[in-house]
Structure 1
Amino acid sequence: MPTGTRLSVVVVTRERPHAPEYGAYSKLLLERAARDAARAGWDVDVVEAAVEGEHGVLRRTDGSDALVVLGGEDIAPEYYGAARGYAREGLHLEHADEAQLALVRRAVERSTPLVGICRGHQIINVALGGTLLQDLGDGSSHRHESVPVHRVMSDHDVELSAGSVLAARLGRRVATRSAHHQAVDRLGSGLRIAATAADGIIEAVEHERLPIVGVQWHPEDVGAADGQFVSILASVARAAALAA
C-alpha cells in the first residue's frame, strides 16, 4: 500500500466513563488498528461518530481512500425494525448509529473501500436494510460472559466462502477472535455471506459488486493472527483497484 493513502478509522467513541474497563480495551483495539494500518503505509485519521455526528463524520471522511468502522455498542434496534428490551441490551448511542449508517450508504454510492469490524460489520448490514439477531443466548461460543474484559474474546475458526474476496487473501479456514452477543440475520441489499461459524452464525459479509466487507471477529485484537487486520484491509483495497 503506497504511503500517503488516506484511511479514516471511524469509532463510536474514544471515551466510555460509564464503562472504564471496556473503554480501555476498546482504545487498545483502536490503537492496534491505527498502528498496523500506518505501518502498512496508510495515512490514518481517527473519527469519533458520537462526537462528530452525521454531518461531522461525512465531512471528516470526505475524500478518504478507504474506511474502517470498528466495534462498539449495540446498534439501536429501531434502525433495523426491532424492539428494545432484549437480553443483554446495553447503552445505545443513536447519534453514532446515524453517523455510521450514513457513512456506509455514502460508501455504497461512491464505491469507497470499506471494512466493518464487529459492530461495523453489523452497521453495514443494517445500513443496507438487513436485520440482526438481537442476542445469541446463553452458551454462545462467540464471547465469554461474566469475565474481566481482557478475557472476553473467544477463539474459534470460521469457514470462508469459495470465491469470496476474503478467501482469496486468507484461505478457506481462518482462526478468529470474537466478542459479540448479536449477529447478522437477514442480509441487507447487495450483500452475500462470506464466512460462517460452525454453528451457522454469519461471520463475514461482502458486497456483490463493491469493495465493502464486514467481519464479525476482531482481526485487530492482540491475540489475533499476526497481520490479519492489514490483510483484510489490503484485500478490500485490491478489490477496489481491480474494479477501477
Structure 2
Amino acid sequence: MTPRLAVVEVTRHRPDRPAYHAKVQLLNASAADAGTNGGWSVSRLAAADLSPAELLAATDDCDAIVIMGGEDVTPRFYGGGTGYEGETRHFEVADAGQIALVRRALERGTPLLGICRGLQIINVALGGTIVQHIEDGIHRNVGVPIEQVLREHPVQLLPGSTLIDSLGQAGILVQSAHHQSVDRLGAGLVPAGVAPDGLVEAIEHESAPITGVQWHPEAPDSPAEQLPLLLAALQSQLAEARVDERLAA
C-alpha cells in the first residue's frame, strides 16, 4: 500500500501579499512534488481554510505529516505579546489546527516533519516559546525582494541526532529565511542542529518521530538531496512503527 503523506500549509489565500504568496506556494508545491516523487500519496491541505476538527479529520488516515512554513505563530499560543518588530499577519485557525496535528502525532507516534514555521509550531504545541525577533545575522536577507530573501548558511547537526542519520553528515548547508527562533524548548524536545551564531536550527523529540528544521529544504537552491532524505526518514520511521505494532500484537 502506498504510504499517505499530508503536506499542511498555512493558507491558499493571501490577496494582500501576492509576491509573498507566490513564493510560499512555490515552496509548498516543491514539497508536495518531492513527496510524490518519493513514493508517497500526497494530500495538500491549507490549515486556515479548515477548522481544527476538519483538519484532524482530513488527515486522520495519513501515515505522516509535513507542516510547512509561513507567517508567525499567533503569540497567545505561547504566552507572548503583539507589537514586536517584524510581526506578520497571524492565522489563528491555522495555528490551532497545526498545533492539534502535532499533539495527535505525538499521541499516535505518527512521523511528522516541521519546516521553518513548522518547527516553531512543534515547539509551541509542546509548551515551548518563541524568540519573536532576531537580528538578521545569517538567517535571512533583508531589504531585498521576496525572491531573494533566502540565505545560505551552514548548520552543524548534533552528535546522536536522528538528523545526522537521515542526512548522512554532521555539517550541512541550508537555505533559511526566518526572523523568529525557538526559545524555551517544549516538553520532550531536544536540539538537533545549530547555526554558527548558536541559534537552534533543528529540533527532535526524544522518543517520538517528530523533527523540525528551521531552514527550507524544499527551496530550489537547497541541496537537491536534502528534502528527499528527510522524507525518506519519515518512511523509515513509519516502517519501524509498523514493525513495533506487529510485535506488540
TM-score, with structure 1 as normaliser: 0.96
User: Could you tell me which residue of structure 2 aligns to residue 113 of structure 1?
Assistant: 111
Paired residue secondary structure (2:232) = helix
Structure 2: state its 5+ residue gaps.
245-249
Paired residue secondary structure (2:122) = helix
User: Could you tell me which residue of structure 1 aligns to residue 160 of structure 2?
Assistant: 163
> Equivalences for 1:1-244 in 2 at 5 Å?
4-137=2-135, 139-170=136-167, 171-243=169-241, 244=244
* Amino acid across the alignment from 1:143: R
Deviates more, 1:166-175 or 1:116-125: 166-175
TM-score, with structure 2 as normaliser: 0.94
1:95 Cα deviation from its structure 2 partner? 0.9
Moved over 6 A (4+): none
Q: Are the equivalent residues in 2 in contact too, given 1:67–1:113 (CA < 8 A)? A: yes
1:240 Cα deviation from its structure 2 partner? 4.0
Q: Are the equivalent residues in 1 in contact too, given 2:86–2:133 (CA < 8 A)? A: yes
1:235 Cα deviation from its structure 2 partner? 1.7
Q: Are the equivalent residues in 1 in contact too, given 2:38–2:232 (CA < 8 A)? A: no
User: Could you tell me which residue of structure 1 aligns to residue 247 of structure 2?
Assistant: none
* Amino acid across the alignment from 1:49: A
CA RMSD of aligned residues (A): 1.0
Q: Are the equivalent residues in 2 in contact too, given 1:160–1:173 (CA < 8 A)? A: yes
- Provide closer, same or farther for how the CA distance between residues 240 and 161 of structure 1 changes in structure 2, counting only shifts above 3 A: farther
Q: Are the equivalent residues in 1 in contact too, given 2:8–2:67 (CA < 8 A)? A: yes
* Amino acid across the alignment from 2:141: H
| Cα distance in structure 2, aligned partners of 1:58 and 1:239 | 21
Paired residue secondary structure (2:140) = coil
Paired residue secondary structure (2:201) = strand
| Cα distance in structure 2, aligned partners of 1:198 and 1:53 | 39
